[in-house]
Amino acid sequence: MFGITHLGLFVAAVFLLNVTPGPDTAYIVGRSVAQGRGAGLMSALGISAGCCVHVLACAFGLTAVLAASATAFTVIKIVGAAYLVYLGVRLIFSKQEPAAEQSAARRGADKSLRQLFTQGFLTNVLNPKVVLFFVSFFPQFVSADSDHKVLAFLTLGAVFLAMSTVWSCTVAWVAGTVTRRFAGKPGVKKWLDRGVGSAFVGLGVKLATSTR
HSE-up (13 A, CA, CB side) for residue 87:
25
Residues of the chain with pLDDT under 70: 1, 62-73, 75-77, 80, 83, 94-111, 181-193, 196, 200, 207, 210-212
Please state the length of the chain.
212
Q: What is the C-alpha to C-alpha distance for residues 154 and 59, in angstroms, rounded to an integer?
A: 6
Note the pLDDT tens digit of each residue in 134-166: 877 777 787 777 777 788 888 989 999 999 999
Decide: helix, strand or coil at residue 24: helix
Residue 161: name the closest of 84, 58, 72, 82 by CA.
Answer: 58
Residue 105: predicted pLDDT: 41
Cross-strand partners of 21: none
Coil, strand or helix: which one is 142?
Answer: strand
Bridge partners of residue 142, in order along the sequence: 4
